[in-house]
Structure 1
């Protein structure tokens, strides 16, 4: 069955439902389109949709247009558009793309909304001591107390009790990379990785 463009338009209009088009927070048109599956719509000829538009159906469900491709038809400038969209649900449940960083040196946490990868170059007490020595605002007494406590904990079989590092809370809050380093050290200690 060969259809000319007018027959195709008529068929598509009959098979389509109405969507209000919002652009820059203003309603700009009402179009006809039908679902093609996999977050796709086909917009009937003579209507225009742009990336960034929001389509709203009669149930007030929003479809966020993120890709628009013209449908080719010989000799016709507008034979409709294929539209890819996201819904509010799919936008909330799809993780955002991770940020790519060329090189990470030292302590870092990189990831997206669901997963983080920690890159921590701290392996032992010597590394924590070097990190502490880089802070001019931490007293030598605090540095020695923390290193001593971690060293005793490492060398003894005495279980760690909740809050055994609580006196260093303000130090960890001020220097979060130190808190991360000590945390990684303790996890390695508990996992027999040290």
Structure 2
């Protein structure tokens, strides 16, 4: 049984479908064969953005969470808004070379290459309970790298949250098998 509340948004019979309908698919970007799921239409639509944030706030409002961590780059959009609404702090997990203070890093594979992310070595304290936010779970590499970084600092990652799951790429399965509970708003089949 989850310690998180089921999202309930007034005036919308199915808020997840409302969000899903506003996600744009961009074929063959950033390379041929990739169906990029673009959340910018959700961000541009004031009702869609409010609905998305309200879903997340309702999920976490009564949970014991200390911090929201967001993954570069779209986790930086949703994460701080969620942190603000929950009166929590925000921790950025950035692409290599973007943070100004001492960092630790973690490399990972993604669906069309590899990358490295970093976190400040003082970003959170041991035992701090964190929700890790991103826009999408594909292969799970980015969220897994963020989880590993937070755990290396002693944090407890209580849940990963994303707007979109691409289950056929195996990331959500990988993350759940690693012990990370996940919440996603919607899913898309294929790549």
- Rg (Cα) greater in structure: 1
From the two aligned structures, give the one with the greater strand fraction: 2
For normalisation by structure 2, the TM-score amounts to: 0.21
Determine which structure has greater relative contact order: mean sequence separation of CA pairs < 8 Å that are 6+ residues apart, divided by chain length.
2
For normalisation by structure 1, the TM-score amounts to: 0.21
